[in-house]
Chain A
Amino acid sequence: MASWGEASQSRLIGKRITRLSGKDKVTGKAKYTYDINRPGLLYARILRSEVAHAVVLELDLSRAEELPGVHAVLPLTEAGRKLRYQGQEIAAVAAETDDIAKDALRLIYVDLEEQPFVVTEADAMAEGAPQIRDDWQGNRSNPGINEQGDVDAGFSEAAVTVEATYHTPVQTHVCLETHGHVAEWRGEDFLTVWASTQAVFGVRNDLSRRFELPANQVRVITEHMGGGFGSKFGPGVEGHTAAQLAKITKRPVKLMLTRKAEHLVAGNRPSMTQHVKAGATKDGRLIAYDMKGYGTGGISSGAGFQAPYVYHVENQRTERFNVATNAGNQRAMRAPGHPQGAFAMDSLMDELAEKLGMNPLEFRRINDSNEVRQAQYTLGAQEIGWHRRNNVPGSGTGIKKRGMGVGSGQWGGGGGRGTQARVTINPDGTVEAVTGTQDIGTGIRTAIAIIVAEEFGLEPTEIAVQIGDSGPGLPSGGSGGSQTTASVAPVIKTAAAAAKQKLFETVAPLLQTTVDDLRIGKGTIYVASDRTQTITWKQTTGLLGMESITESGNWDQELRQGGVAGTQFAEVEVDTQTGHVKVLKIVAVQDCGLAINRLTTESQINGGVIMGLGQTLLEERIMDPLTGRMLNANLEDYKVPGTYEIPEIKSIVFDTHRKVTGVGEPPCIPTLGAIANAVYNAIGVRIRELPITPDKVLTALAQKKA
């Protein structure tokens, strides 16, 4: 049975290894899609609707076409068609320079007849609201209803009940590299596209269908990419447009979204509103749960969320639906549905615990059947100093009040089939590992090198890892669902093991020994029964003569595992005069399975915590119900965490087993509940609507006083 071996036997796996791409990234040499300069490159831009809902009456591109330096103008809508949200595409331009493209957009004439619109959930659900999707009845989808046990009986057993409404607004991904592509045709029948994507092969397949080309006549390259968080799986309108413009102009075309468009059309995390009633027994058992909720994913559906979350409830009834609004559609965003679900559930848990007069941690222990998390509760509580927590919320003295809270999360991340990989040993001792995955910042490139280097007794820097390119024809899945490492690692490991076996078979006779008697040491190969017989790696590969060894790997169930539990504790300080919440410390105890690279795993946990912090305290897409436009489609008014917001973060890599699992998404989940509960513990008033901004804190404090 294949295994990763004992921790004590690992030289590299599980250690802190710096990234292979580090040097290129700190020197500015790393080339992202946005940095690709090709001879004869044209720059493209898209004209977008500034209104939320309209019918196109006329579209006239002629003046733009006449502008010197413009090479093509492409309509992306036509008279009679509807535009359903701000940012929807009208036309695109390709020009000699970006400035000329900008000028050309202003010369496009479009006559629109505005239609009534709704951009907030409340407006969409109001009596007499305009219907905005032709395929729905009204603006709500059919509700999904789920019932388990007997909710009424549950409530009759409850000693305490809580009824509350929790809300999280729409959050946008804010990838720092906006969505975009550089497209270049060779003749009529070979398309190369540099794409800022999480799915090199997904983009290749999409483009091959779109342009009716055989899959092997489309090549997609993503050497480095500047963040996706779930929003970059397909080429989208912008990718199709870039390729189309390149085809028309017979020139390479670069089309990157503007920051504004990135907020408007490149995906978002849907909102969530939950009306919950829940009950617990005197001895602290969560016994009944009744939830009605909804969210908006803009013009699309998909506004799901987890409810109830993590904790076990015997009797539950849930009903949820989507609300359509005239806004850009949602896309998967880091642990879709989980952070918002966790915020509501963890808040609810604390509210119930308080009514029971029970420590919220104790209440969780009673209702959480996950053993890993039980151990994490103990560890996390120790780390944060849970005994220092206010027993009476809001009881601290002074202007700045401190509080502590806890939150939990759960994720899958077990990987899956669909990756092909090749490991090659060359006679000169060099090693190559090739597969079609992509590094979206998680460090998979380095993880691949670590696995191969461990197998061969080499250093990770000695492994040439080629990923992010569909050219070699070795597919791998998209980087989503925290599946990348668990999908790729087993295939790389088996490929390397097969190559090592081949190497041993070739050299054993030459060394007058058997394959079974050969071992790998650091940079050497030796005979186990006679340690004096040692030759260097290079001497060994030199024995291959002219022929390299190339082996492919296969998916191995035994090398990976799904299901990761996480717990976080937060300590905050709330300024009761300004309403400002400062997070002092987060302890993140994250189940990681076998962390191939402890250093980059810690980075991912930090990153998840910080994104969760942003969602709790700062981030919100603000739509203006009067104009139908997003009011903060930039990086100043849409606030993501900056240096001042960063607390001390203690990321604890909680490795429970020696199988690989994914950890990109789960650490952003428990943060919300932990911080929200800490704020309550500090000031003694609960804020049930994110983000917890100073105005909400001050209003809550004023209401408490009154």
Chain B
Amino acid sequence: MSEKEKKQSTNISRRSFLKGVGTGTVAATVVPAILVGDAEKAEAQTDDTISTAQIQLAINEQKYTIEVEARTTLLSVLRDGIDTNGNSVDLTGAKLICDRGECGGCTVLVDGKPIYACMMLAMDAQGKQITTVEGIADGNTLHPVQEAFIKHDALMCGFCTPGFVVSSVALLNENKKPTLEEIKNGLSGNTCRCGTYPFIFDAVETAAQKMK
């Protein structure tokens, strides 16, 4: 590879990495593999072969027609999507927190089942009913889960709250009278850094009673 070609194909040059890494010697063989891998993937995605498609999504009982790339996630449509009429979808309740299915901050219901919207491609959400946290309440009437979250202070900064609300609704749809262990299990895919868990458990118990 000529110097010029190399420069165009990787973001961090191979030369510098092959010089050896730090105080260890083993690493020299490990690190470049990772980085070059990255760079090659990058190349594949940045040619002008990116194609888009127009898809229809049903979100909170409303239809949206949106142009997406194959790689566009459902979460990015919800948060940043602009429909073909130029209107912003702007459903920012679901949050991207980890971007890899580890935190539940992006949880939405797809045909009634909780899923991580960061892990689902927008194209795969076609033909399905998507409910975000914005669609959980019935107009101005809050869902019992939402009422109970407020009552028990099951939120502090509130950044994780939309994910927990949606997961709790999904749990109670499946299991009308969960035990504490079942609540923990049902919400184990969600993370809260402020540490609201004890009051979330209380809230789900209260909501369950209310929904009986």
* Shortest Cβ-Cβ A-B pairs, 7 listed: A28-B93, A226-B159, A441-B157, A610-B195, A106-B42, A607-B195, A25-B158
Judge if B211 is at the interface, Cβ distance under 8 Å: no
- Tell me which residues across on chain B come within 8 A of A610, comparing CB atoms: 195, 197
Residues of A near B126 (CB, < 8 A) are none
Contacts of A218 in B (CB 8 A): none
A175 within 8 A of B: yes
Judged by a CB distance under 8 angstroms, whether B26 is at the interface is: yes
Contact assessment for A176 and B7 in the assembled complex, using a CB-CB cutoff below 8 Å: no
- In the complex formed, the residue of A with least CB distance to B9 is A109
The A-contacting residues of B in range 8-59, CB under 8 angstroms, are: 8, 10-13, 15-17, 19-24, 26-27, 30-31, 35, 38-39, 42-43, 45-46
Can you list 16 pairs linking A and B with CB atoms under 8 Å apart? Answer: A22-B150, A22-B153, A26-B155, A32-B95, A106-B43, A110-B12, A110-B13, A229-B193, A600-B156, A603-B194, A606-B196, A611-B195, A626-B21, A643-B183, A643-B190, A646-B198
Pairwise interchain contact A23-B156, C-beta atoms closer than 8 A: no
Residue of B whose beta carbon sits closest to that of A626 = B24
* Distance between B56 CB and nearest chain A CB, rounded to angstroms: 20
Cβ of A687 within 8 Å of any chain B Cβ, yes or no, is no
Q: Do A176 and B24 touch (CB < 8 A)?
A: no
A625 in contact (CB, < 8 A):
yes
User: Which residues of the other chain, B, contact A259 by a CB distance below 8 angstroms?
Assistant: 97-100
In A438-454, the 8 Å CB interface with B consists of 440-443
Number of interface residues of B (CB under 8 A): 84
Query: Which residues on B sit within 8 Å (CB–CB) of A440?
Result: 157
User: By the criterion CB–CB under 8 Å, are B24 and A60 in contact?
Assistant: no
- Majority secondary structure, B binding face: loop
Q: Report whether B137 and A627 are in contact in the complex, using a CB–CB cutoff of 8 Å.
A: no
Cα A166 to Cα B95 in complex, Å, equals 38
Given A116, A177, A229, which contacts B23 in the complex, CB threshold below 8 Å?
A116
The minimal Cβ–Cβ distance linking B91 to chain A, given in whole angstroms, is 7
Contact B195 A227, beta carbon cutoff 8 Å: no
Could you tell me which B residues sit within 8 Å of A by CB distance? 7-8, 10-13, 15-17, 19-24, 26-27, 30-31, 35, 38-39, 42-43, 45-46, 69, 71-72, 76, 79-80, 88, 90-100, 102-103, 105, 132-134, 136-137, 142, 145-146, 149-151, 153, 155-162, 165, 183-185, 187-188, 190-199, 201
Tell which of A110, A176, A641 touches B160, judged by Cβ atoms closer than 8 Å: A176
A130 to B24, CA, bound (A): 13
The answer on a CB contact under 8 Å between B98 and A634 is yes
Q: Is the CB of A18 within 8 A of B16?
A: no
Q: Determine if A607 and B194 form an interchain contact, defined as CB atoms under 8 angstroms apart.
A: yes
Chain A, residues 94-112, CB within 8 Å of chain B (1/0): the string is: 0001110001011111111
Instruction: Name the one of B10, B19, B137, B191 contacting A176, with C-beta atoms under 8 angstroms.
Output: B191
Name the B residues within 8 Å of A43 (CB-CB). 80
The CA-CA distance from A229 to B133 in the complex, in Å, is: 26
Known: A626-B22, A646-B201. 5 other contacts (CB 8 A): A25-B162, A111-B13, A225-B157, A603-B153, A635-B100
User: Measured between alpha carbons, how far is A108 from B8 in the docked complex, in Å?
Assistant: 9
Most A CB atoms within 10 A — which of B43, B132, B153, B197? B153
Partner of A103, one of B46, B149, B156, B162: B46
Given contacts A599-B153, A627-B30, contact A103 B45 (CB under 8 A): yes
Whether, in the assembled complex, A656 has its beta carbon less than 8 Å from a beta carbon of chain B, the answer is no
Nearest to A612 among chain B residues (CB) is B195
How many whole Å from B69's CB to the nearest CB in chain A? Answer: 7
Min CB gap A700→B, angstroms:
28
Cβ–Cβ contact B8 & A63, under 8 A: yes
Chain A 26-58 against B: per-residue CB contact (8 Å), 1 yes, 0 no? 111111101101000001000100111110010
Minimum CB–CB distance for A267 against chain B, Å:
14
Q: Give min CB distance, B178 to chain A, whole Å.
A: 12
Known: A26-B161, A634-B102. A176 touches B192 (CB 8 A): yes
- A247-282, CB < 8 A from B: 258-259
Question: B194 near A441 (CB under 8 angstroms)?
Answer: yes
Known contacts A113-B19, A116-B23; decide if A646 and B184 are in contact (CB<8 Å).
yes
A489 interface residue (CB < 8 Å to B): no
